Amino acid sequence: MWAKTVTGNFASVIHGLNANHLTDQVIQRSKRMILDTLGVGLLGTSTEVCHKVTQYSKIYSSDLSSTIWGHLDFRLPPLYAAFVNGVAVHSMDFDDTWHPATHPSGAVLPAVIALSEAFPRNKKISGLDLLLAFNVGIEVQGRLLRFSSEARNIPKRFHPPTVVGTMGSAAACAKLLALDQLGCKNALAIAASYAGAPLANAATQTKPLHIGNAAKHGLEAACLASWGLQGNKQILDMESGIGAFYTDYNPQTLPTLQSYPWLLDQQDVAIKCFPAHLGTHWVADAASSVRRKLVESSGNLLPLENIEKVILKVPKVEYVNRPSPASEHEARHSFQFVACSALLDGSMSVQSFTSEKIHRPALQELLRKTQLEHPPDNTPSFESLYCEVSVTLRDGNTIGDRCDTFYGHWRKPLKKEDLEKKFQSNALSVLPAEATEGIIQTVYNLEKVDDCSMLSTFLSGQLARTLSEKLHFF
């Protein structure tokens, strides 16, 4: 039945999509995203920001409870499990990035996993249910982002996960709750009233809450819709609806359900190799390459004292332009910091952002010599930006290199081994090896798992006995 409004159309697509619509590529790509998201989330549970939101969330109690990734010692009500796990995913800016720009998985996965644990005992949620709901949540985000040309570039006003992520989470949870079309519509409408956080909190400790809140509020909206709460049935159609977050807004109806063309099929995500703003990944690649050249031409030593100037040609993105970051959050959002770290260390990693690393004298000195330039052809879009790093030495020589596509970008995706390596490295910081292995196997076989609660069990760190009982998809 053709809906007359875009909102109604979205509701009928959310309602009508089923597992048969999923394509192999979509399944493969989303499993990679799921694995990466779980890994960064597990690592993120050890961060200070996650610790704070955990302490806060414990003040609420409930009969229902869901898993907090990396923890066997306590559980939280599903809404706050979604919140805490979502914060963990984005805590280090290590999670996936899409084009048009947003962090799609962190807003959806924690919500659907938490929700999957909230059903009555006799109702099982299969891996396929989870995979489908996850993809509905991703798809809705991508579609909404295409309604505004403003969304194609790196944002300036609202942080995209807080706008589309909340909507995606609501859609995904509506799917998992099997709401009817009206329920899906209302879930979207209610979610819009939670959407939108300003960009100014990027590069602060509050930024990770953007993803946590997107997950939590989307789930809340779907739950309220399932209780019959109603919102504006044209929330996606009106300028005063989701259009309020954009200066230009042109909603379109979605394709028909017949062989539905998922955006994830056409456009993959970027997976980060180190925990910092995506824009810095081009910088790291170029800087590492320049360091190699410098070292080769200087007898295998980095000629630090001989460096006169470091110039970075990057797009104009105010919130990643930080000449002298003072905190880990600022360092993750600094072209300058990543360039200098990569020049000093040869590569970037999780450890690059510790307080010692941020404040070391060699780095501070190099930062003072670093400048940014914004060539007009360097557009602030993750699809087209580039970075050129050039180092000028005392003797006048200049060594430079350019990066158009870093390893992990959708044009040059991470190989399976490297994705797993990242996951293991992250997850092993909080979980035992059997659990991390269990997660990998479960995610890779997600469509065959009939009870996805085993994923939650592994995420909490439970093992051995559970492993043999529950691994019955082999």
Q: Which residues bind other proteins (CB under 8 A)?
A: 49, 52-53, 55-56, 59, 156-159, 162, 189-190, 192-206, 209-210, 213, 224, 229-232, 234-235, 238, 240-245, 316, 318-319
Question: Is the Cβ of residue 195 or residue 312 nearer to other proteins in the bound state?
Answer: 195
Distance (Å, whole) CA 350 – CA 252: 41
Question: Is the Cβ of residue 107 or residue 271 nearer to other proteins in the bound state?
Answer: 107
Question: Is the Cβ of residue 238 or residue 459 nearer to other proteins in the bound state?
Answer: 238
Question: Is the Cβ of residue 285 or residue 330 nearer to other proteins in the bound state?
Answer: 330
Question: Is the Cβ of residue 56 or residue 74 nearer to other proteins in the bound state?
Answer: 56
Question: Is the Cβ of residue 193 or residue 306 nearer to other proteins in the bound state?
Answer: 193
Q: Tokens 């996960």 map to which residue?
A: 161
Question: Is the Cβ of residue 198 or residue 346 nearer to other proteins in the bound state?
Answer: 198
Distance (Å, whole) CA 109 – CA 172: 9
CB of 276 to other proteins, least distance (A): 17
Residue 212 belongs to what H/E stretch? Answer: helix 207-226
In degrees, rounded to 5, the angle at the alpha carbon of residue 265 between the alpha carbons of residues 261 and 268 is: 145
Distance (Å, whole) CA 435 – CA 427: 9
CB of 343 to other proteins, least distance (A): 26
Cβ contacts of residue 256 below 8 Å, gap of 6+? none
CA 221 to chain centre: 21
Question: Is the Cβ of residue 245 or residue 423 nearer to other proteins in the bound state?
Answer: 245
Distance (Å, whole) CA 29 – CA 333: 27
Distance (Å, whole) CA 394 – CA 333: 29
Q: What are phi and psi of 351, to 5 degrees?
A: -75, -10
CB of 354 to other proteins, least distance (A): 18
Q: Tokens 């956080």 map to which residue?
A: 197
CB of 232 to other proteins, least distance (A): 4
CB of 408 to other proteins, least distance (A): 25
Q: Number of C-alpha atoms within 13 angstroms, CB side, residue 174?
A: 37
Question: Is the Cβ of residue 245 or residue 406 nearer to other proteins in the bound state?
Answer: 245
CB of 204 to other proteins, least distance (A): 5
CB of 468 to other proteins, least distance (A): 41
CB of 205 to other proteins, least distance (A): 4
CB of 172 to other proteins, least distance (A): 20
Cβ contacts of residue 283 below 8 Å, gap of 6+? 312, 314, 335, 338, 339, 342, 387, 389, 403
The 8-class DSSP code of residue 201 comes to: G
Among 14, 215, 19, which Cα is nearest to 109's? 215
Count the Cβ atoms, other than its own, within 10 Å of residue 20.
9
Among 159, 185, 150, which Cα is nearest to 170's? 185
